[in-house]
Structure 1
Amino acid sequence: MVQTSLLFALAAFTGFMEASPIRRFSSGKRGLAFPKNFNGQAGSQYTHAFDGKSSISWMYNWEAVIDGEPIKNVEYVPLLHSNQQWCTEGWTQNVANARSKYDVKYVLSFNEPDQVGGGGSNMAVDEAVAAHKQYIQPLASQGLKIGSPAVTNGNDANKGINYLQQFMAGCSDCQIDFVVAHYYAWANVQDFKNYLTKFHETFNKPVWVTEFGINPGEGDADAFLKEVLPWLDQTEWIQRYAYHMTAPDVDGKTYLVNSAGNGLTAAGQTYASA
């Protein structure tokens, strides 16, 4: 009788497991990159399209101040965009304020100093090194982990990996806990993997991919994400990543939020659940 009861119990449990949805594993790497402002509105509002999504663990907005109220219970990573006064003035206090309001463990250095336009900060290597030492490096003594400047995937002499190699040589006495890559191209999965592998092998540090995306008209962002997200999650040296970006998909930009700003695109749905 006991044996028969046990068999019934096991059968019932197995049936329950088969009928119950299996929660996807979250690697803790996936983040939201959202604009501080978008068409005059606080960009943080669009993070709420990911409310309740366990796949999302962190966020950033290319600054150290968030307008509005973003998604809750998600780690925030401040960024110093450039060495211009509007960025550096109040930087230390802004980081302190962010730490009092959000969970802050990491800080990001300059955004695309190797690029003019397109959000790039356009900084000569020696200027970036000096500003990093002045404004970013002191935060290491406060227990924060420090990222390198984020560079493009350009291949010219003073872009991408080549730029960051020069920066790392000039900042050899800095605490750089991880290196930061951006990637924009066509939807070629192997090219994406090859570039990031080269990036890691060049610097031999954990890699954050704080911007990546498909150029408009050069592939299916949803299909691309379905292929690369498992690789990003499973690759040990990829520490964190964020798709560009959490904002309304205007003019075919392949963003994660729909053009009305009230839901997710197909790519956004994949990013939220895959």
Structure 2
Amino acid sequence: MLSTRFLALALVALAAILAGSDVEAKKHNANCKAGLPWGADNRWASKMAKGCVKWIHHWENAVVPQVEGKLDYVPMYWGPKKAGKWNDRKKWINKHKPNYILAQNEPDVPGQANLSPKQAASEWIKELRHYQKKGIKISSPQIVYDIKWMDSFMKHLKQHGAKPDFMAVHWYGSWKDTAKLKKYIKRVHKRYNLPVWVSEYGVTQKSHGSQSQVSHFHSKVDRWMDSQPYVHRYAAFGCYAYGNAPDSFGAQQNAFFSKGGKLRNSAYSYMYGASGSKKHGKRDATATANIEAHAARSPGAHRHHNKRVHSLAQAIELQARNTTLDPHEDGEALDPLKSYINGWEVTPEEAEEYFNHDDEEDDKENANADDAEHDDEISRLRDQALDEADEKEDELEKIDEVKTDDDDDDN
């Protein structure tokens, strides 16, 4: 058991150290990109309109009333199959003039918008070009994997004298596939030289990831996208309750909510930039306000607090060694009497909920998790398309080199 004296000293150091780490977290999240691809109960939405979550879109429906004015709503032209829904969206667009509109939803997938590149380009011109002329930024169609489809679309759109303002893509694959996700996004940016939105992404059920594996995947790719200046926005597939996913394709472990709308650890990680696991997620975030009272009135909080203080001793030693560390180098000191979660100021009630939060699903490892190679067809097709695109670019570069050599010989 820690002595009262040591606890008091630790609390003083805690405020300084948390101020430094929280300032770093604030700087890391200064340009928030996270959004919500909404599909859950609208009454749950306000629970996630916090931290680094700044925007929202819906596959076909209007703005979610509970977060109107809190999150930037981006309407979507799903495709001609949902023309009635789009007519309703146009009324809202004409009245509010949003900053952005997302184009067709997964036109390269038969079960979704399912359009040929030529059809999609024609629809883009018909339904979206006039909004672009009014100053609204319009995305490319939101493909899932087919780069060749997008190449053809861009050629058809160019024939109309148009191009999108930014590329919007979806990505699904295994929890092991962080490198593949990065390659896909890098390829899209390099190929079209436009900002990229990853407007939907997640881990597939077929990859059989445990909760910790799926959470680690999201934490890793979110931080990577935060660090890429050309990735302007992203929206994780997770707006549903665990056990009630929209389909069998996406893994349950992506879910932001438990049954009844309670926030899961994955939601807190997404909002506040925690590491996304039980070991290094919410345990690393501590309310700085009234922490002794916190520990006294709650056995759960007391347990978490003791874990924090044990690690604090090491942090104090590290800080003593690093004399160049300036926790307020950006000039913004944090108030030790307020509550923060990973650098984000929250209400005492939110800190209490977060501090004592427990997630039954996050404590259960998926029994199906193993190291077997998954047979995700979408991932296979995407890899094939990327490889073919690489080969085509290599061939074009060789042709250019031959032409250059011929020109030199002529001279």
Alignment of 1:108-257 (within 5 A): 108-117=102-111, 120-153=112-145, 160-172=146-158, 173-187=161-175, 188-218=177-207, 219=209, 220-251=213-244, 253-257=252-256
For residues 65-122 of structure 1, what are the alpha-carbon distances to aligned partners after superposition, in whole Å with 9 as ceiling and x for unaligned?
A: 135423642111000100233244344213224x27xxx21011100011112xx111
Does residue 80 of the first structure (1) align with residue 74 of the second (2)?
no
Instruction: Specify the alignment match of 2:370 in structure 1.
Output: none
Amino acid corresponding to residue 255 of structure 1 in structure 2 = N
Change (3 A) 1:66 1:106: same
Q: Cα distance, 1:18 vs. partner?
A: 3.0
Change (3 A) 1:57 1:139: same
Instruction: Specify the alignment match of 1:57 in structure 2.
Output: 54
Report % sequence identity: 22
Does residue 270 of the first structure (1) align with residue 264 of the second (2)?
no
Asked if the contact 1:64–1:95 (Cα under 8 Å) also holds between the matched residues in 2, the reply is no
Change (3 A) 1:171 1:270: same
SS at structure 1 position matched to 2:75:
coil
Q: Cα distance, 1:204 vs. partner?
A: 1.2
Aligned length: 243
SS at structure 2 position matched to 1:268:
helix
Change (3 A) 1:169 1:87: farther
Q: Cα distance, 1:22 vs. partner?
A: 1.4
Q: Which has the larger radius of gyration?
A: 2
Instruction: Specify the alignment match of 1:10 in structure 2.
Output: none
Q: More strand per residue: 1 or 2?
A: 1
Change (3 A) 1:245 1:72: farther
Quote the Cα distance in structure 1 between the aligned partners of 2:89 and 2:55.
20
Asked if the contact 2:45–2:66 (Cα under 8 Å) also holds between the matched residues in 1, the reply is no
Q: Cα distance, 1:45 vs. partner?
A: 2.4
Amino acid corresponding to residue 180 of structure 1 in structure 2 = A
Give the TM-score of the pair, scaled to structure 1.
Answer: 0.81
Question: Which one of 23, 28, 32 corresponds to residue 28 of structure 1?
Answer: 32
Quote the Cα distance in structure 2 between the aligned partners of 1:73 and 1:203.
32
Change (3 A) 1:91 1:72: closer
Q: Cα distance, 1:257 vs. partner?
A: 2.5
For residues 43-63 of structure 1, what are the alpha-carbon distances to aligned partners after superposition, in whole Å with 9 as ceiling and x for unaligned?
A: 332322214x22011110023
CA RMSD of superposed structures (Å): 2.3
Give the TM-score of the pair, scaled to structure 2.
Answer: 0.55
SS at structure 2 position matched to 1:263:
coil
For residues 207-228 of structure 1, what are the alpha-carbon distances to aligned partners after superposition, in whole Å with 9 as ceiling and x for unaligned?
A: 1000100002522221101211
Asked if the contact 1:82–1:111 (Cα under 8 Å) also holds between the matched residues in 2, the reply is yes
Change (3 A) 1:76 1:91: closer
Change (3 A) 1:44 1:15: closer
SS at structure 1 position matched to 2:128:
helix
Q: More helix per residue: 1 or 2?
A: 2
Quote the Cα distance in structure 2 between the aligned partners of 1:19 and 1:195.
36
Asked if the contact 2:62–2:89 (Cα under 8 Å) also holds between the matched residues in 1, the reply is no
Change (3 A) 1:238 1:87: same
> Unaligned regions of 5+ residues in structure 1, if any?
1-12, 154-159
For residues 123-167 of structure 1, what are the alpha-carbon distances to aligned partners after superposition, in whole Å with 9 as ceiling and x for unaligned?
A: 1222111111011111012211110100012xxxxxx21111111
Q: Cα distance, 1:14 vs. partner?
A: 8.7
Q: Cα distance, 1:64 vs. partner?
A: 5.4
Quote the Cα distance in structure 2 between the aligned partners of 1:178 and 1:147.
5
Change (3 A) 1:96 1:256: farther
SS at structure 2 position matched to 1:213:
strand
